[in-house]
């Protein structure tokens, strides 16, 4: 078959490929053809530092020999078998390893294929659990989530999402959800000092639980950081407080660690920072090191037991995914987790996190940087028209996107969240590359916002 020309590829990309979260009327193709380490090469031979870990999922860099070998080795065995009533060796081993690594008590693993589906699984399990537990509570049908939450793009995960720009158009299709304020540490409530933010926001959650706990099946939260909301970093103790409140009011807790899991916050899982044991742990993105689509929902034996019974009891979880537990994805996920140990990746993170903090401290002094937020190796830099009043730029100016285009011209790939410039590199990034990334971000902000 004759290979398409460069012009054909660009034309087909514009016309045939419908890109997610992209206005196709304005789309300018960027076709990436090769990866090595933390860099990617485009169709024209230009190399870029991958500053967003290929949408927050790459861990050890591109084309890591161990991950490549794991994938190739599994190809020599079998590429796919169903997970519905059957299993495969890598998926079994991966489930065991995840149960060992996760917060205590999460011993049962349901595989799916994306972060959205991992959340969807948790929502449906929580709903069904209350009908099938030894003392059924069928009235518990509702969910509690935070404002500005993002939990994926399926209708269930959108229902618990709270970003109006993304979700409002679908409102007629969604189930209603109780909503607590997002614990914002930048645009804070009037009269609430910084040291009182945690109790203030927890009180807002408790007000809802007090009034409606008898209806609420579960609360869902992105532990420590609401990433798609603009890297909103929660105040210390908020997550631990949520766990205490949900236990007090007999509500399950779903921890959505799709973005923040697998070392991104400096610990393997974000929940571990505040020693929180959720009832569900949703994983995706970094699970396979950024190689293949795979997700997992972990839960407790108490919840697992509510689904056990005879065939005719219809207690089965009637949910499944064609590629759930795919052996190729499971094999590379196992190798990904082995690399955390072999390369002592978590031990390398404090130096990188501190270096990022130093760069952010300097960047925060730029005239149009209103706020910088960091949790581990995640950072958000919010651009504003006026620092004193925190007035944002008019949306049509797209300052965040302009900064990212400027950075691309200097060899760094970034993707903003509105006017929040996001730094989210592979965990394997070197200190010199991290310096380069932050210096380019600084220069790009200065050039676009001067």
Which tens digits make up the pLDDT trace of 164-175? 999 999 999 999
Q: What is the pLDDT averaged over residues 297-319?
A: 96
Q: What is the mean pLDDT of residues 72-78?
A: 97
Cα–Cα dist 70/74, whole Å: 6
SS (H, E, C) 106-161: CCEEEEECCHHHHHHHHHHHHHHHHHHCCCCCCCCCEEEEECCCCCCCCHHHHHCC
Among the listed residues 175, 55, 52, 50, the one whose alpha carbon sits nearest the alpha carbon of residue 115: 55
Instruction: For 419-430, write each residue's pLDDT tens digit.
Output: 999 999 999 999
d(CA 164, CA 413): 27
The answer to whether residue 450 scores a pLDDT higher than 90 is no
Q: What share of residues in the chain are helix, strand, coil (percent, to 5)?
A: 40, 15, 40
In Å, how far are 6, 15, 39, 225, 424 from 42, measured between CA atoms? 11, 19, 10, 31, 20
What number is the average pLDDT over the span 244-256?
98
For residue 15, name the pLDDT band (cuts at 50, 70, 90). Answer: very high
Contact 63, 44 (CB under 8 A): no
Distance between CA atoms of residues 335 and 111, nearest Å = 17
Task: Please report which helix (H) or strand (E) contains residue 302, including its range.
Answer: helix 301-305
Q: Are strands 216-221 and 225-226 parallel, antiparallel or unpaired?
A: unpaired
186, pLDDT greater than 90: yes
How many of the other CB atoms lie within 10 Å of CB of 193? Answer: 8
User: Which residues, listed in sequence order, are joined to residue 220 by a DSSP beta bridge?
Assistant: 254
pLDDT for the residue numbered 330: 98
> Kindly report the CA angle at 279 between 320 and 116, in degrees rounded to 5?
40
User: Chain-wide mean pLDDT for the chain?
Assistant: 97
pLDDT tens digits along 126-152 = 999 999 999 999 999 999 999 999 999
Based on its alpha-carbon atoms, the radius of gyration of the chain, rounded to whole angstroms, reads 22
Q: What is the pLDDT of residue 106?
A: 98
Q: Does the pLDDT of residue 348 top 90, yes or no?
A: yes
pLDDT in tens, 23-62: 999 999 999 999 999 999 999 999 999 999 999 999 999 9
Q: Is the model's pLDDT at 176 over the cut of 90?
A: yes
Cα–Cα distance for residue pair 57/54, rounded to 1 Å: 6
| 88-106 average pLDDT score | 98
The residue-averaged pLDDT of 156-181 equals: 95
Among residues 368, 296, 357, 294, the alpha carbon closest in space to that of 326 is found at 294
Q: Of 41, 37, 54, 52, nearest to 428 (Cα)?
A: 37
- Band (pLDDT 50/70/90 cuts) for residue 335 is very high
Average pLDDT estimate for 77-103 = 97
pLDDT digits (tens, 9 = 90+) for 106-116: 999 999 999 99
Mean pLDDT of 156-161: 96
What average pLDDT does the segment 354-378 reach?
98
The mean per-residue pLDDT over the stretch 62-81 comes to 97
Chain centroid offset of residue 136 CA = 33
d(CA 358, CA 380): 14
Residue 214 pLDDT exceeds 80: yes
What confidence score (pLDDT) does residue 1 get? 75
- pLDDT of the residue at 2: 87
Query: What pTM did the predictor assign?
Result: 0.97
- SS3 at position 295: strand
Return contacts of 352-357, CB within 8 angstroms, 24+ apart: 352/377, 352/427, 352/429, 352/431, 352/434, 353/266, 353/377, 355/431, 355/434, 355/435, 356/423, 356/434, 356/438
At 350, list the tokens: 């404090």
- pLDDT at residue number 249: 98
d(CA 26, CA 396): 13
Q: What percent of the chain has pLDDT over 90?
A: 99
Burial class (CB in 10 A: 0-12, 13-18, 19+), 175: middle
Phi, psi for residue 388 in degrees, rounded to 5:
-65, -45
pLDDT digits (tens, 9 = 90+) for 368-397: 999 999 999 999 999 999 999 999 999 999
């Amino acid at each position: 078959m004759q290979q398409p020309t460069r012009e054909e590829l660009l034309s087909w990309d514009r016309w045939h490929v419908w890109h997610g979260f992209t206005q196709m009327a304005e789309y300018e193709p960027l076709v990436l053809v090769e990866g090595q380490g933390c860099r990617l090469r485009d169709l024209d031979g230009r190399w870029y530092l991958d500053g967003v870990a290929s949408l927050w999922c790459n861990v050890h860099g591109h084309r890591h020999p161990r991950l490549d070998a794991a994938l190739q080795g599994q190809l020599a065995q079998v590429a796919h078998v169903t997970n519905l009533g059957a299993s495969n060796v890598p998926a079994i081993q991966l489930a065991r390893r995840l149960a060992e690594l996760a917060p205590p008590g999460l011993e049962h693993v349901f595989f799916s294929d994306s972060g959205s589906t991992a959340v969807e699984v948790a929502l449906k399990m929580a709903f069904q659990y209350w009908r099938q537990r030894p003392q059924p509570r069928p009235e518990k049908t509702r969910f509690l989530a935070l404002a500005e939450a993002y939990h994926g793009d399926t209708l269930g995960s959108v229902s618990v999402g709270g970003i109006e720009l993304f979700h409002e158009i679908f409102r007629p299709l969604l189930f209603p959800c109780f909503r607590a304020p997002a614990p914002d540490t930048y645009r804070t409530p009037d009269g609430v000092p910084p040291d009182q933010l945690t109790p203030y926001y927890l009180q807002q959650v408790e007000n809802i639980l007090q009034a409606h706990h008898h209806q609420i099946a579960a609360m869902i939260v992105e532990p420590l950081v609401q990433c798609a909301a603009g890297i909103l970093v929660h105040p210390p103790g908020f997550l631990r407080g949520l766990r205490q409140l949900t236990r007090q009011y007999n509500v399950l807790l779903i921890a959505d660690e799709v973005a923040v899991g697998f070392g991104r916050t400096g610990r393997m899982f974000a929940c571990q920072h505040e020693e929180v044991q959720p009832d569900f742990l949703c994983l995706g993105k970094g699970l396979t090191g950024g190689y293949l689509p795979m997700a997992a929902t972990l839960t407790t034996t108490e919840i697992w037991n509510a689904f056990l019974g005879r065939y005719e009891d219809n207690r089965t979880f009637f949910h499944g995914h064609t590629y759930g537990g795919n052996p190729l994805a499971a094999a590379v996920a196992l190798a990904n987790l082995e690399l955390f140990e072999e390369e002592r990746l978590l031990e390398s993170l404090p130096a990188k996190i501190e270096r990022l903090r130093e760069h952010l401290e300097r960047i925060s002094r730029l005239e149009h940087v209103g706020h910088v937020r960091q949790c581990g190796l995640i950072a958000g830099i919010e651009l504003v028209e006026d620092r004193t009043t925190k007035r944002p730029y008019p949306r049509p100016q797209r300052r965040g996107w302009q900064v990212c285009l400027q950075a691309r011209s200097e060899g760094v790939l970034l993707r903003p969240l509105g006017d929040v410039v996001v730094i989210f590199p592979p965990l394997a990034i070197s200190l010199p590359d991290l310096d380069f990334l932050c210096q380019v971000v600084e220069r790009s902000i200065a050039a676009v916002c001067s």
